[in-house]
Amino acid sequence: MSNASFSRLGGLLLILSAAAGRTAMAASIDDVEPSTNVNGTLGLGQIISAEAMGQGRLSLTARGNLYQQAKEFPGGPKKNAQITTGTAGVGFGVNPYIDAFAGLAFYNLSGSDPDNGAGLGTVTGGFQGSIPFSEKIPGRVGFQLAVLAGTSAKQINTNHADGYNYFETRNGTDFSLTFTQSIVFKSLLSFRLHFNEGVVTSLQQDKTALLLQGAAIEFAPAPSFILGTEFHSRTVLKDNRDSDPMWFVPSLEFRSAKNHLNVQFGSELSLTQERPDLPDRALEPWRVFGALTWSYNPNPGRSRDAEKARLDSLSRLALEEQARRSQWMADSLARKAREDSLMRAGMDDAARRRADSLAARARQDSIALAEARKNLADEKSRRTDWEKEFLRTGVLNLEALYFETGRAEISINSKPYLNLVGRMLSKYPKLQMEIAGHTDNVGGAGANQKLSQDRSDAVRLYLVAAYSELQGHLTAHGYGSSVPKTSNKTAEGRQINRRVEIAVLNKDALKEYE
């Protein structure tokens, strides 16, 4: 690749990185599509992730590759030949732990007479699984089984299983088994480590078994793009001196939260030197590639919705059971009253005393009910204006909460105010609330987002420590300067935009406290 090509590629990287930086705050990591490999399942480039796609998710991937033959040797194209290959892949989540995939490769060879031409390459199909570990455990373990059916009239590279495109233009049939491991840290801006170990065996007698190894680092400094690094090796098991190509793959992937599209490009760079005892090289110096993936999940946030539905169902069942018991008691007392009425004429003194006791208990229950209603009315009358506004709108701006400039430590003068807020929130145990931190636009977007997150975390920790009953009812999220209330052009506007708010997430529950 010429210096001019590298310069143009560098300029494109800078432009796309700047665009990603402007949209990084527009979505969270959970809102964007995951990274996929050439098969359309989860992974990075050609690395396979041990994570499952999820039931019902569909991914369509198209990848194109280009390189130039740098040196002519037996089993490969002529020097300076242009080799273009591509793969169309589809992946589908059969259930929460099993994915199926299929792919079709194609190729074009030019500048290598008389072998020039284009055609279909290898047809790939198979499935992969993931062991159902708990989401609290960062480790994932899985496997992949695949069939590689060659359809090419002539294989482009036939030397010692070398060449980036060795499996893309096979004219035989291979079977592969790959074991996968992944370490996932979503809290660290979606940081992942992937490890693959696989074996490929062929039905062709002149093809020996191969050992495939790979490792990758996947890092998302912002939700909208991923930096990827992969290492691959391919070794003949019979004699590893005969073939041991290794290559390095840096890549950059841009992700969209709205149209389900991912765009990836990068380069494969050889790490293996020419063999001193053989007239050929293990790999060409470089190959560039680009990929486009469309992925669709019909059930976003299904786990969160299922858990919420389960809790709502349990709550409804408990209320229904309580209502049935109350109705049974009421019916029982009514039947007892009718029976007592029929027998009242012949009751002796003991029966009359029992009836009087039941009447007295009924009066006490009536008084207790009236007292409870009065207490509820008194509680409503004692509500402050800001408490009434909070129950009406579901939003409370913490106007008396102060921090040092650029810091997240809560001012000591603000703690009595937070105690009042915590005491008020603890009276409404059915509310699920979010503490939202906001900043003005002074300073960098990344620093503002971190500051807003730190401040909202600090408020949540203080309230939960002071009122343990709020545990499980408060979450914290920092929005940086992405949600201003007014213009940041004036000092007054910036002061308004620097705020911490408490917002009710399940606003339907507010009706119970009217």
- Average pLDDT on 473-497 reads 93
Q: Is the pLDDT of residue 1 over 60?
A: no
Give the number of other CB atoms < 10 A from CB of residue 92.
19
pLDDT tier at 23 (50, 70, 90 boundaries)?
Answer: very low
Higher pLDDT, 368 or 395: 395
SS (H, E, C) 26-47: HCCHHHCCCCEECCCCEEEECE
Percent of the chain clearing pLDDT 70 (strictly above): 84
- Per-residue pLDDT tens digits for 121-171: 999 999 999 998 777 788 999 999 999 998 877 788 877 778 888 889 888
Percent of the chain clearing pLDDT 90 (strictly above): 45
Question: 410: which DSSP letter?
Answer: B
Picking from 447, 439, 479, the residue whose alpha carbon sits closest to that of residue 27 is: 479
Do you know the residue count of the chain?
514
- Residue 455: which region, alpha, beta or left (left: phi > 0; alpha: psi -120 to 50)? alpha
- Per-residue pLDDT tens digits for 436-448: 999 999 889 999 9
Give the number of other CB atoms < 10 A from CB of residue 418.
18
Count of H helices and E strands in the chain? 7, 18
Query: What is the reported pLDDT for 233?
Result: 92
- Average pLDDT on 201-218 reads 89
pLDDT tier at 432 (50, 70, 90 boundaries)?
Answer: very high
Instruction: Name beta bridge partners: 228.
Output: 218, 251
Query: 229 with 247: CB under 8 angstroms?
Result: no
pLDDT tier at 239 (50, 70, 90 boundaries)?
Answer: low
Query: What is the reported pLDDT for 22?
Result: 41
Query: What is the reported pLDDT for 21?
Result: 41
- Per-residue pLDDT tens digits for 325-364: 888 988 888 888 888 778 776 666 777 778 788 888 878 8
- Per-residue pLDDT tens digits for 314-327: 677 878 888 888 88
429: exposed, middle or buried (Cβ count in 10 Å: 0-12, 13-18, 19+): exposed
Which range among 100-114, 176-190, 377-391 has the greatest average pLDDT? Answer: 100-114
Query: What is the reported pLDDT for 282?
Result: 66
Which range among 226-230, 282-286, 491-495 has the greatest average pLDDT? Answer: 226-230
- Please state which of the ranges 85-89, 112-116, 308-312, 478-482 shows the lowest mean pLDDT: 308-312
- Average pLDDT on 217-236 reads 90
- Average pLDDT on 230-234 reads 94
- Average pLDDT on 373-387 reads 73
- Average pLDDT on 418-436 reads 92
Instruction: Name beta bridge partners: 434.
Output: 475, 503
Q: Is the pLDDT of residue 174 over 50?
A: yes
Query: What is the reported pLDDT for 303?
Result: 47
pLDDT tier at 13 (50, 70, 90 boundaries)?
Answer: very low
Q: Collect all residues with Cβ–Cβ distance below 8 Å to 493 and sequence separation of at least 6.
A: 440, 484, 486, 487
Question: 393: which DSSP letter?
Answer: H
CA angle 419, 424, 427 (to 5 degrees): 130
**Domains of the chain and CATH, by start:** 3-298 (2.40.160.40), 384-514 (3.30.1330.60)
Higher pLDDT, 298 or 210: 210
Query: What is the reported pLDDT for 300?
Result: 64
- Per-residue pLDDT tens digits for 45-77: 999 999 999 899 999 999 999 999 888 877 788
What gap in Å lies between CA 392 and CA 386, rounded to an integer? Answer: 10
What gap in Å lies between CA 307 and CA 422, rounded to an integer? Answer: 26
Q: Is the pLDDT of residue 392 over 60?
A: yes
- Per-residue pLDDT tens digits for 295-309: 888 776 554 555 456
Backbone torsions φ then ψ of 48, nearest 5 degrees:
-100, 130
Summary mean pLDDT of the chain:
84
pTM over 0.95: no
* Strand intervals (E) in 131-239: 139-149, 173-185, 191-202, 210-222, 225-236
